[in-house]
């Protein structure tokens, strides 16, 4: 009999432990999976209300209600209920394993209550520092709060635990982008865009990163993919047009700027910049009338934007002076033909023979000549600068050094812009003459454009 009694007690104990284990597993399953909740909505509410009628602070009842609201997406109700629950002193250690703070934090995030969300998720992380979901959501939250350095810390931890998590890749890449750490952002944003090609905000950030790290071809392809996007299209068109402008592909730059301006919804500052750059592209493409039309439109809406007033004056001057257009905008062949005419105007009673020409891209042309008069022959060196900006003394010093190397008798440095006071002072005591824009205009007035070549 004693042996039988012991055996019966042993079997009863095993059965009891098994039932309790199943109950605990089911309870934790209810916390993590909405489909695992026992009973329907009405029974959960009824059971919770019954317990709360006896004890308004009953933690089990509050938890069941909070979970119900959470899984139904009633985040404001869930937030308030979790808050009531977490304020109770009677929460057992088994209940307070971090998941309550986690759901409290997520509910607060959904309500955009960033302070409460941070409080909840930080408490969850204290209890579960290596939990993927806690780190991933905390990183996302810090991104929403614009705490990008903190975002990086949490999301790096999350990606160690789950390397292909798209949201973590996205927010980590965007954080590096916001911090202007473009090289680091590229890899994460590449992975995020590959996983979600419809994530246009990440694609734009990736394009900007490629642009900033001097990968214009990759950036151009990405920007062009975004041209039709209603949100990022205008910005993308501005940057793709800028890439073409830097390469002096003016036709494509014009097309892209127009694409940006054709969007129905466009940020006011982006619209102004697109108009400003479109006018300059028209100018470079020798469409002065169209450049003026765009600038006038910009002036009517924003008369104080950048130097729009002076640009209108400049384009009007260009539009009325074909020789000035040739000097500043024409091809090198037309420009050189005009330079030869200018040299002849400066020496009207002599024959000017060009001995050597050196073209420095679109910046300036050096021309070494022999000027032959009736009883003399001088070596005269010309530098024609194709700019409307200020020319500094370093440039003039370089010009003077070149004059000395060539042993020129006289030298003329002619600019479409102006010289700085330092440049003018340097030239005073040296055998070089500096001609600014006003001097150039007087010379150009005496030259017939038909003798130079008409702009196409």
Could you give all domains of the chain from N- to C-terminal order, each with its CATH number?
Answer: 331-451 (3.40.1350.10)
| Residue 449 DSSP class | G
Instruction: Count other C-beta atoms under 10 Å from residue 284's C-beta.
Output: 17
Write out pLDDT tens, residues 370-395.
999 888 899 999 999 998 889 999 99
pLDDT, residue 452, reads 67
Q: How far apart are CA 41 and CA 363, in angstroms?
A: 77
Q: How far apart are CA 216 and CA 177, in angstroms?
A: 17
| Of residues 124, 119, 97, the one with CA closest to residue 109 | 119
Q: How far apart are CA 253 and CA 423, in angstroms?
A: 35
pLDDT, residue 99, reads 83
Q: How far apart are CA 34 and CA 299, in angstroms?
A: 60
pLDDT, residue 149, reads 97
Q: How far apart are CA 279 and CA 293, in angstroms?
A: 8
Mean pLDDT of 34-46: 64
pLDDT band at 319 (very low <50, low <70, confident <90, very high): confident
For residues 288 and 318, is the Cβ–Cβ distance under 8 A?
A: yes
- Tell me the β-bridge partners of 359: 365
pLDDT over threshold 70, residue 4? no
| Of residues 112, 250, 108, the one with CA closest to residue 121 | 108
pLDDT over threshold 50, residue 27? no
Mean pLDDT of 168-179: 98
Mean pLDDT of 254-277: 97
Mean pLDDT of 299-319: 92
Could you tell me which residue, 32 or 399, shows the higher pLDDT?
Answer: 399
* Kind and range of the H or E run holding 46: helix 41-54
Write out pLDDT tens, residues 341-375.
999 999 998 999 999 999 987 789 999 999 998 88
pLDDT over threshold 90, residue 448? no
For residues 36 and 22, is the Cβ–Cβ distance under 8 A?
A: no
pLDDT, residue 12, reads 43
Q: Rg of the chain's alpha carbons, rounded to an integer? A: 38
| Of residues 407, 414, 450, the one with CA closest to residue 431 | 407
For residues 45 and 61, is the Cβ–Cβ distance under 8 A?
A: no
Q: How far apart are CA 302 and CA 317, in angstroms?
A: 22
pTM of the model: 0.72
pLDDT, residue 17, reads 37
pLDDT, residue 66, reads 82
Write out pLDDT tens, residues 399-432.
999 999 999 999 999 999 999 999 999 999 898 9
pLDDT, residue 53, reads 78
pLDDT, residue 36, reads 38
| Of residues 257, 263, 256, the one with CA closest to residue 231 | 263
pLDDT over threshold 50, residue 6? no
Give the DSSP per-residue string, 62-122. Answer: HHHHHHHHHHHT-HHHHHHHHHHHHT-TT--TTT-SSHHHHHHHHHHHHTT-HHHHHHHHH
pLDDT over threshold 50, residue 83? yes
Handedness of CA 26, 27, 33, 36 (dihedral sign): positive
For residues 399 and 413, is the Cβ–Cβ distance under 8 A?
A: yes
* Kind and range of the H or E run holding 88: none
pLDDT over threshold 90, residue 144? yes
């Amino acid at each position: 009999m004693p042996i039988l009694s012991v055996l019966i007690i042993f079997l009863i104990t095993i059965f009891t432990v098994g039932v309790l284990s199943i109950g605990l597993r089911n309870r934790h399953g209810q916390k993590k999976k909405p489909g695992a909740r026992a009973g329907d909505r009405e029974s959960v509410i009824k059971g919770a209300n019954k317990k709360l009628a006896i004890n308004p602070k009953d933690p089990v009842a509050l938890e069941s209600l909070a979970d119900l609201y959470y899984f139904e997406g009633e985040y404001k109700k869930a937030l308030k209920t979790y808050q009531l629950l977490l304020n109770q002193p009677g929460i057992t250690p088994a209940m307070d394993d971090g998941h309550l703070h986690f759901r409290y934090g997520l509910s607060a995030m959904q309500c955009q209550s960033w302070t409460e969300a941070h409080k909840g998720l930080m408490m969850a992380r204290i209890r579960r520092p290596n939990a993927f979901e806690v780190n991933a959501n905390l990183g996302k939250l810090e991104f929403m709060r614009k705490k990008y350095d903190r975002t990086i810390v949490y999301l790096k931890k999350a990606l160690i635990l789950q390397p292909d998590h798209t949201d973590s890749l996205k927010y980590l890449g965007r954080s590096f982008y916001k911090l202007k750490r473009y090289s680091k952002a590229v890899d994460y944003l590449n992975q995020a865009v590959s996983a979600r090609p419809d994530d246009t905000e990440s694609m734009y950030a990736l394009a900007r990163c490629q642009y900033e790290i001097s990968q214009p071809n990759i950036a151009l392809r990405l920007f062009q993919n975004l041209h039709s996007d209603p949100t990022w299209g205008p910005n993308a068109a501005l940057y793709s047009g800028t890439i073409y402008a830097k390469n002096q592909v003016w036709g494509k730059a014009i097309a892209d700027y127009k694409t940006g301006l054709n969007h129905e919804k466009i940020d006011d500052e982006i619209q102004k910049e697109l108009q400003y750059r479109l006018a300059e592209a028209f100018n470079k493409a020798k469409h002065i009338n169209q450049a003026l039309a765009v600038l006038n439109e910009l002036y009517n809406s924003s008369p104080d934007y950048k130097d729009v007033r002076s640009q209108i004056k400049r384009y009007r001057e260009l539009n009325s002076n074909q020789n000035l257009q040739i000097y500043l905008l024409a091809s090198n062949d037309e420009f050189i033909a005009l330079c030869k005419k200018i040299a002849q105007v400066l020496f009207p009673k002599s024959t000017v023979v060009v001995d050597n020409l050196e073209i420095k891209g679109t910046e300036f042309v050096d021309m070494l000549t022999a000027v032959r008069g009736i009883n003399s022959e001088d070596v005269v060196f010309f530098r024609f600068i194709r700019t409307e900006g200020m020319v500094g003394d370093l440039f003039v010093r370089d010009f003077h050094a070149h004059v000395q190397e060539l042993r020129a008798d006289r030298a003329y440095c002619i600019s479409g812009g102006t010289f700085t006071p330092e440049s003018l002072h340097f030239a005073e005591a040296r055998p070089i003459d500096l001609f600014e824009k006003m001097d150039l205009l007087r010379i150009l007035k005496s030259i017939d454009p038909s003798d130079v070549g008409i702009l196409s």
